[in-house]
Amino acid sequence: MFDYIIIGGGSAGCVLANRLSANPNNTVCLLEAGVSGGAKRHKYLIKAPIGIGLLMWHPTLNWGFHSQPEPQLNNRTLYSPRGKVLGGSSAINAMVYIRGQKEDYDAWAAAGNTGWGWDTLLPLFKRQENQLRTADNLCGTALHNSDLHGTGGPVCIDDPNHVDALSRTFISAGEELGYRNNPDFNGLNQEGFGYFQLNQLNGERWSASRAFLDPIKHRKNLTILTEAHAAKLLIEDHKAIGVEYLKSNSINRIHSKKETILCGGTFASPQLLMLSGIGPKEELAKHDIPLIHPLEGVGKNLQDHLDIILRHKNKQPAGFGLSARFALKAAKAPFQYLKNRNGFFSSNTSEVGAFIKSDAEMDRPDIQMHFTPMYIKKHGRSKPPLGHAYSLHLCNLRPKSRGEILLNSANASDAPKIHYHFLENEEDLKAMIKAVKLGREILETHAFSDYRKKELAPGEDKQSDAEIAEFIREEAESIYHPVGTCKMGNDPLAVVDEQLRVSGIQGLRVADASIMPSLISGNTNATSMVIAERAAELILQNDQR
């Protein structure tokens, strides 16, 4: 029997385990379906930023989900990686630390979610942060507005240890077109071109597990169970009292005295609710799952950033590629990294980016770009051409299309059924076409003239809006920012209230990216951690009453 059971040891679950177990009087159990990540063969792959190339498809550390055929994307199934290890997706992602725009959170509060506006959440971001940038850095300046950034927290944030010459060229291209050089995407104004800050320390990935679990994993009141797959919530008289889970081919049960908190993420949290009889009545009936509480919003409101990639052939052996020069560089790289924690093994491959407006009349950026000094297609699985290339990711930050998560079966071991419904709203396609045009303009600047040889994608034969649209339908993919399937709010599709309590069930909360009413403007990992920080506050406040 535990006071609190946390289901899911990802970015949010690690935060909650830390905060709830800080009181030695609270007994806490953290349940994670994946591995600990501590095995030597996993540990170094996770630590080295360049490991993302293998982590993207790792059969042990990644769930490797796929969507259902997407009607607006030529019926393609889209790859949807998720971390299957302590730290969750923070252990396998590109480590980019973006908090989003102030307006994102103020919109949550304006929709009736009291306590979720920017002024409330900024102190929580700062509490978590250990901002490591100094004046002696890539930007040549310390961060301005230090009141916007925290130091001394568990989440280490720093500039890249390696920046390729091509990445610097991307920033120069932005300056050539008149965009501002932005030294701080987490400052007062997100707009512009600049270096991404990363969750890292001394050239090593700083996952949520390293930040929040490693320092406290030996607490006597904290139990961490890995390779323990939650199968069903235990509900008694509309109150959550524990969880049934699978471990070592056996069914086990643990019980909670105070609360059970779901931190499974946008795919797993709604799936577990439905497997437990909480969700849309018709969906549960399809799989003969007894209905405990009808909640139509479970699994609905799925949102993600759709990503399209422009690719250019490089006439120089710069960046990453298939050449004798790069092979020699690659042979030296492991030793350079082991000795100094620098070189391209310390690269996350997305060192720089931009936030821009698709229309000058907009009041804030709606397009995000990630530049990579290498050939990228199909999540790195498509064989690159001989020589060198570079790629530019483009995504619409605030899509209007909404998808859903359904069940494949009543078996917890089966993957959830993912329907993104990308581009079902015509405005989303228009925004993506604008993004492609803007991306092309950047890659055609004089700054890239020493590198630019040939446009590989979309290809010089695709110029009209219709041709660009077809390119998007044929190649666009998720950039791995799914949110929203256990929506916070007070409308008919809301699953949790502003306290993150599941409607109609006592002692049960959801605290992960699935509660976001709407996508934030950027990478979602920082926000997932701060959602859990806010949840810990709410839970502990309730505990004191």
Any bridge partners for residue 393, and if so which?
309, 370
- Has 481 been annotated as catalytic? yes
- CA atoms of 212 and 204, how far apart (whole Å): 16
pLDDT category at 338 given cuts 50, 70, 90 is confident
pLDDT digits (tens, 9 = 90+) for 433-482: 999 999 999 999 999 999 999 999 999 999 999 999 999 999 999 999 99
- 333 pLDDT higher than 90: no
Name which residue leads in pLDDT, 22 or 332: 22
pTM of the model: 0.97
Mean pLDDT for 107-127 is: 97
Mean pLDDT within 503-527 = 98
User: In the structure, what pLDDT confidence band is assigned to residue 327 with cuts at 50, 70 and 90?
Assistant: confident
Q: How much is the pLDDT for 494?
A: 98
pLDDT band at 135 (very low <50, low <70, confident <90, very high): low
Distance CA 526, CA 95 (A): 10
Q: In this predicted structure, what is the pLDDT of residue 145?
A: 55
Position 348 pLDDT exceeds 90: yes
Give the model's pLDDT for residue 380: 87
Considering the candidates 312, 370, 393, 481, report the single residue annotated as catalytic.
Answer: 481
The full set of domains in the chain, from first to last, is 2-43+209-302+483-544 (3.50.50.60), 161-195+306-396+425-475 (3.30.410.40)
Q: What is the pLDDT at residue 137?
A: 64
Residues 6+ apart with CB under 8 A from 73: 422, 423, 473, 474, 476
- pLDDT exceeds cutoff 70 at 504: yes
Pull the structure tokens for residue 178. 């008149």
β strands within 266-366, DSSP E:
278-279, 293-294, 306-314, 321-322, 352-356
Compute the 3-state secondary structure of the chain and give helix, strand, coil in percent, each to the nearest 5.
30, 25, 45
Confidence of residue 383 (pLDDT cuts 50, 70, 90): confident
Average pLDDT on 35-45 reads 88
Structure tokens at 387: 């020589």
- Pairing mode of beta strands 321-322, 387-396: antiparallel
Question: Is the predicted pLDDT of residue 140 greater than 60, yes or no?
Answer: no
Q: Give the whole-number percent of the chain exceeding pLDDT 90.
A: 89
Sign of the alpha-carbon dihedral angle for 281, 284, 289, 294? negative
pLDDT at 14 over 60: yes
pLDDT tops 70 at residue 335: yes
In this predicted structure, the answer to whether residue 299 has a pLDDT above a threshold of 80 is yes
